[in-house]
Structure 1
Amino acid sequence: MRRLAASLAIVLVTSTLALPADAGGCPQVRVPGAEYAEVTCLDDLTTVGGRTNPADYAGLTHSALPQPEAVPGIQVDGYFPDTSRTNANNGWNHDSQFVLRLPHRWNGGLVVAGSPGVRAQYANDRAISDDVLAKGYAYAATDKGNTGAEFYRDGTKPGDAIVEWNHRMTELTRAARKAVTRYYHRAPREVVAAGISNGGYLVRWQLENHPELYTRGVDLEGTLWKADGPNLLSFLPPAIRGYEQQNPSLIEKAGFNAKSSFLWDYHYTVYWKLTQRIYAAELDPTYTGTEAAYDYSARPQAQQAVRRIALTGKIGKPLTTIHGTFDSLLPITQDSDVYAAMVRRAGREHLFRYQRVEAGNHVDGLVDAYPDRLVPLVPLLRKAI
Structure 2
Amino acid sequence: MPLVPQYVRRIRAACLAAAALMVVGAGPAAPPPAEGADRPGHCAGMDAITVPGAERQRAVCLDELTTAGTVASGHTDEADWAGLTPKDLATPTGVPGIQLDGYFPDSSTTNTTHGWNHDAQFVIRLPDRWNGGLVVAGSPGVRKQYANDRAFGDWVLARGYAFAATDKGNTGPTFHRDGAAPGDALAEWNTRVTQLTLAARKVTTQRYQRPVSRTLAMGMSNGGYLVRWQLENHPELYDGGVDWEGTLWRTEDPNPLTFLPPTLRAYPDYAAGGTGAGAAHRQIVKAGFPAGSEFLWPYHHQYYWDLTQRIYREELDPEYDGATEAGTPFCAPGTPNCDADYDYDARPGAVRDAVAKIALTGRIGKPLITFHGTLDVLLPISKTSDTYAAMVRREGRGSLHRYYRVEGGTHVDSLFDTFPDRLRPLVPCHRSAVVALERWLDDDRRPPSSRTLPMPEGADPATLLTRCPLSG
Q: TM-score, normalised by structure 2?
A: 0.76
Judging changes above 3 Å, is the alpha-carbon distance between structure 1 residues 29 and 378 closer, same or farther for their aligned structure 2 residues? same
Partner in structure 2 of residue 355 of structure 1: 404
Judging changes above 3 Å, is the alpha-carbon distance between structure 1 residues 239 and 42 closer, same or farther for their aligned structure 2 residues? same
Partner in structure 2 of residue 91 of structure 1: 115
Contact 2:106 2:118 in 1 (8 A): yes
Map residues 1-385 of structure 1 onto 2, 5 A cutoff: 26-50=46-70, 51-246=75-270, 247-288=280-321, 289-299=337-347, 300-385=349-434
Contact 2:43 2:98 in 1 (8 A): no
**Relative to structure 2, which stretch is displaced further, 375-384 or 42-51?**
375-384
In 2, Cα distance between equivalents of 1:334 and 1:356: 13
3-state SS in 2 of match to 1:315: coil
Shift of 1:251: 0.6
Contact 1:22 1:28 in 2 (8 A): no
In 1, Cα distance between equivalents of 2:205 and 2:397: 30
Partner in structure 2 of residue 17 of structure 1: none
Shift of 1:213: 0.2
3-state SS in 1 of match to 2:297: helix
Shift of 1:48: 1.2
Shift of 1:24: 10
3-state SS in 1 of match to 2:102: strand
Letter aligned with residue 176 of structure 1: A
Contact 1:115 1:123 in 2 (8 A): yes
Judging changes above 3 Å, is the alpha-carbon distance between structure 1 residues 373 and 30 closer, same or farther for their aligned structure 2 residues? same
Shift of 1:316: 0.3
Over residues 315-348 of structure 1, what are the superposed CA-to-partner deviations in whole Å (9 max), with x where a residue is unaligned?
Answer: 0000000100000000000000000000000000
Letter aligned with residue 37 of structure 1: Q
Contact 1:240 1:292 in 2 (8 A): yes
Contact 2:85 2:150 in 1 (8 A): yes
Letter aligned with residue 372 of structure 1: D
In 2, Cα distance between equivalents of 1:25 and 1:345: 48
In 2, Cα distance between equivalents of 1:80 and 1:233: 31
Letter aligned with residue 428 of structure 2: P
3-state SS in 2 of match to 1:172: helix
3-state SS in 2 of match to 1:34: coil
Over residues 53-101 of structure 1, what are the superposed CA-to-partner deviations in whole Å (9 max), with x where a residue is unaligned?
Answer: 0000000000121111121000000000000000011111100000000
Percent identical among aligned pairs is 63
Shift of 1:383: 2.6
Judging changes above 3 Å, is the alpha-carbon distance between structure 1 residues 71 and 251 closer, same or farther for their aligned structure 2 residues? same
Indicate the structure whose relative CO is greater, using CA pairs within 8 Å and at least 6 residues apart: 2
**Relative to structure 2, which stretch is displaced further, 291-300 or 123-132?**
291-300
Judging changes above 3 Å, is the alpha-carbon distance between structure 1 residues 252 and 109 closer, same or farther for their aligned structure 2 residues? same
Shift of 1:183: 1.0
In 1, Cα distance between equivalents of 2:47 and 2:420: 45
Contact 1:34 1:78 in 2 (8 A): yes
Shift of 1:291: 1.6
3-state SS in 1 of match to 2:418: coil
In 2, Cα distance between equivalents of 1:23 and 1:328: 43
In 2, Cα distance between equivalents of 1:323 and 1:234: 20
Could you say which structure has the larger radius of gyration? Answer: 2
In 2, Cα distance between equivalents of 1:140 and 1:85: 21
Shift of 1:301: 2.6
Contact 2:375 2:409 in 1 (8 A): yes
Contact 1:127 1:382 in 2 (8 A): no
In 2, Cα distance between equivalents of 1:269 and 1:134: 37
Letter aligned with residue 306 of structure 1: V
In 1, Cα distance between equivalents of 2:68 and 2:148: 14
Letter aligned with residue 227 of structure 1: T
Contact 2:224 2:243 in 1 (8 A): yes
In 2, Cα distance between equivalents of 1:311 and 1:198: 13
3-state SS in 2 of match to 1:323: strand
Shift of 1:22: 12
Contact 2:42 2:128 in 1 (8 A): no
Unaligned runs of 5+ in 1: 1-20
Unaligned runs of 5+ in 2: 1-40, 271-279, 322-336, 435-472
**Relative to structure 2, which stretch is displaced further, 245-254 or 159-168?**
245-254
Shift of 1:308: 1.1
In 2, Cα distance between equivalents of 1:284 and 1:111: 34
**Relative to structure 2, which stretch is displaced further, 127-136 or 295-304?**
295-304
In 1, Cα distance between equivalents of 2:210 and 2:253: 44
Runs of 4+ in 1 over 3 A off after TM superposition: 21-28
In 1, Cα distance between equivalents of 2:113 and 2:431: 26
